[in-house]
Structure 1
Amino acid sequence: MRTGREWHLVRRPVGSPGDGDVRLVEVEVPDPGPGELLVRNTVMSVEPYMRGRMSDRPSYAEPYALDAPMGGLAVGEVVASGVEGIPVGGRVRHELGWREYALVPAEAAEPVGDDLPASAHLGVLGLTGMTAHVGLLKVGRCRPGDTVLVSAAAGAVGAAVGQIAKAMGCTVIGSAGSADKVRFLTEELGFDAAFSHRDTPVREALAAALDRAGVGVDRGFTGGEGARGGGVDVYFDNVGGEQLEAAIRVMRTSGRIVLCGAISVYNATEPVPGPRNLLLMIWRRLRMEGFLVTDHEEERAAFERDMARWLRDGAVRNVETAVPGGIEAAWPAFLAMLRGGNVGKTVVRLAGTP
């Protein structure tokens, strides 16, 4: 019988997670029975939502069990198959990451092609890309010519949102956590402007970025007719907190705010105050809506069609931080991602060449 290693959650983090919250455990890996696949994972992703699953407070996702392997998206090679139609050597995507080997039920495995790197099926061709597509187009009702603001724009979803918006002919402004990321957004991804939320007060940094993009607003104006002469039509929020409040201030009349994530509060141990300027949402007739991509499976065909075209045309690329080092590197990669140490999707290479 094979053995493999997997990360177990052994303690629920309070505040920021640490090394004492998990353990790398060696386990025996059984052969697959009928309707099962034994998959050797080659690449897995680490994502902000996983922090929420480490706690046991109510959430949209079931908490991880203690003293059991954590889960997450991964792509791997089938090394033994009890499923007709999925042969040994095939490549599948599934949600049993955080381990070297996974025993995957057939209904939980999605075959993926080998014409692109495996990690692309975790990034722009996976739930990351679909989240960006659904959030921007369906929830945000983005239209060509709109001005789009994206927070955590150098992250996995944010980078995809910005590229999609540029492909649609929008003006795009992004926030990020360092000067290097700001340069990446403008010089590599073609954002019209970007700013680091760490350099100056966010509202001032945002206002200056809007000026650079040619969509600046009257600094003293807070009335009901929107941001005179400029402003934001769609704000795609991955951060919450201070950045959400600053974005509300510069929204145009009938603007749309898409709530995708709130990474600024994931490690909070006390209740976090909401934006103090919600009255502007009334004056400017704004709409703010949260969403989960899993509620929008009917959009998959449109997403796959559009993303295939954008990838083929070079309008969108798969942005990722690939971490080598095998399964041992997964937990340090997760902690680094929470601290903002990634550009695009953080993926961990577990075996072979994805």
Structure 2
Amino acid sequence: MNMENKTIILKSRPTGEPTVDNFEFVNEPKPVAGKGEILLKTLYVSVDPYLRGRMSEAKSYIEPFKLGEPVVSGIVAEVLESHNDDFQVGDCVSGMLAWKEFQTSDGKGLHKVDGNAAPLSTYLGILGMTGLTAYLGLTKIGKPKEGETLVVSGAAGAVGTVVGQVGKIMGCQVVGIAGTDEKVEMLKTKFGYDEAINYKTTVNMQEAIAEACPDGVDIYFDNVGGEISDAVIANINRHARIPLCGSISVYNSTEMPVGPRLQVPLLRNSVLMQGFIVFDFAEHYPEALMQLATWLGEGKLTYEETVVEGFDKIPEAFLSLFSGKNKGKMLVKV
């Protein structure tokens, strides 16, 4: 059996920001599908900020990666060999799979995807967990109403680009926060944001948000936490809703930073702030995916992808998320 199957394992747990040294490439024998199994070839790999949390041993909503074992994330793969009646050679599937060029599976947790209906990459983005996170977080917690003001941090990222578009479809005034002038322009021209703010060149974020949101903030979709969120919450309206999706600004902190105490503005304004993960709304996946696919087919939704080519580039693509190099969904094409 040839040693021709590259695998990426977690070699060490990072302190602060991860580096390529935290990963290791190993060669394994190319696997053979057994009874009831399928052999998969990786086509696209999703790299996401939440993976940073799984690299540490801190208690979280999902167990940490184990040292010496492969990293796992969303993957689209092709069936090369099948001994499972539910799958045929040539089928494409998506699911949580290991960072391997080839692997076997019993098919549990995998979903068939149709490359003729939509590009395969979209099943890791706008028609996958990214789209579900944006749609369900906004609709189930944000509960947008026509005429309200929605602010989105990390707006040029995978989730943020979808949140803003869904907010516009639902009649909101939408303001995005991003880290470059290019991303600010993209939010307004491609994704329909009414206003966008470059936080890296803005001296006073609280004043900038007040100017962009003269009627205050009714919904804040929080992807970043930190000082940006402090500035948004300083402009929050009574009975506002805050879906708390991520906190990338502190993922690599070695100590938890201290900022403004949020209890007073939240209490004073009767604000709902609710952290969530997309699995909280699993029972709503079918209806959400149907709505997203409908809007995409009607041209009401669009998407942006940053695609890096080559299996060997997976760790670098992941690390680049923390310097904001991606526009929209970050993917690796193998």
TM-score by length of 1: 0.91
Matched-pair contact (CA < 8 Å) for 2:31–2:103: no
Where does residue 167 of structure 1 map in the other structure? 169
Task: Write the mapping of 1:36-47 to structure 2, written as runs, cut at 5 A.
Answer: 36-47=37-48
Deviations 1:166-207 (A, max 9, x none): 111211000001111111101111100000111123223323
- What is the CA-CA distance between 1:258 and the residue it aligns to? 0.8
- What is the CA-CA distance between 1:299 and the residue it aligns to? 1.0
Where does residue 246 of structure 2 map in the other structure? 261
- Tell me the amino acid that sits aligned with residue 34 of structure 2: G
Q: Tell me, which stretches of 5 or more residues in structure 2 are unaligned?
A: none
**Closer, same or farther in 2 for the Cα pair 1:91/1:285, shift >3 Å?**
same
| Alpha-carbon separation, structure 2, partners of 1:27 and 1:127 | 29
| Alpha-carbon separation, structure 1, partners of 2:82 and 2:147 | 50
Q: What is the SS of the residue equivalent to 1:43?
A: strand
Where does residue 59 of structure 1 map in the other structure? 60
| Alpha-carbon separation, structure 2, partners of 1:179 and 1:61 | 35
Deviations 1:132-184 (A, max 9, x none): 11100001111222211000000011111011111112110000011111111
| Alpha-carbon separation, structure 2, partners of 1:160 and 1:97 | 26
| Alpha-carbon separation, structure 2, partners of 1:104 and 1:275 | 48
Where does residue 96 of structure 1 map in the other structure? 97
% identical aligned pairs: 40
Matched-pair contact (CA < 8 Å) for 1:147–1:170: yes
| Alpha-carbon separation, structure 2, partners of 1:65 and 1:316 | 38
Instruction: Name whichever of 278-287 and 149-158 sits farther off.
Output: 278-287
- Tell me the amino acid that sits aligned with residue 261 of structure 2: R
Where does residue 158 of structure 2 map in the other structure? 156
Q: What is the SS of the residue equivalent to 1:234?
A: strand
Matched-pair contact (CA < 8 Å) for 1:197–1:205: no
Where does residue 144 of structure 2 map in the other structure? 142
- What is the CA-CA distance between 1:275 and the residue it aligns to? 3.4
Instruction: Name whichever of 122-131 and 98-107 sits farther off.
Output: 98-107
Instruction: Name whichever of 329-338 and 268-277 sits farther off.
Output: 268-277
Deviations 1:6-33 (A, max 9, x none): 1111110000111211111111122111
Q: What is the SS of the residue equivalent to 1:73?
A: strand
Q: What is the SS of the residue equivalent to 2:228?
A: helix
Between the two proteins, the alignment pairs up a number of residues equal to 331
Task: Write the mapping of 1:184-333 to structure 2, written as runs, cut at 5 A.
Answer: 184-199=186-201, 200-208=203-211, 210=212, 215-216=213-214, 230-324=215-309, 326-333=310-317
Q: What is the SS of the residue equivalent to 1:334?
A: helix
- What is the CA-CA distance between 1:107 and the residue it aligns to? 0.9
Task: Write the mapping of 1:123-142 to structure 2, written as runs, cut at 5 A.
Answer: 123-142=125-144
- Tell me the amino acid that sits aligned with residue 183 of structure 1: E
- Tell me the amino acid that sits aligned with residue 105 of structure 2: V
- Tell me the amino acid that sits aligned with residue 62 of structure 1: E
TM-score by length of 2: 0.96
Matched-pair contact (CA < 8 Å) for 2:210–2:216: no
Matched-pair contact (CA < 8 Å) for 2:238–2:269: yes
Task: Write the mapping of 1:79-90 to structure 2, written as runs, cut at 5 A.
Answer: 79-90=80-91
Q: What is the SS of the residue equivalent to 2:29?
A: strand
Matched-pair contact (CA < 8 Å) for 2:221–2:244: yes
**Closer, same or farther in 2 for the Cα pair 1:275/1:313, shift >3 Å?**
farther
| Ranges of 4+ aligned residues in structure 1 off by more than 3 Å | none
- What is the CA-CA distance between 1:274 and the residue it aligns to? 4.5
Instruction: Name whichever of 257-266 and 309-318 sits farther off.
Output: 309-318
Report the aligned-residue RMSD. Answer: 1.3
Deviations 1:236-266 (A, max 9, x none): 0000111121111111111001100000000
Q: What is the SS of the residue equivalent to 1:77?
A: strand
| Alpha-carbon separation, structure 1, partners of 2:231 and 2:89 | 52
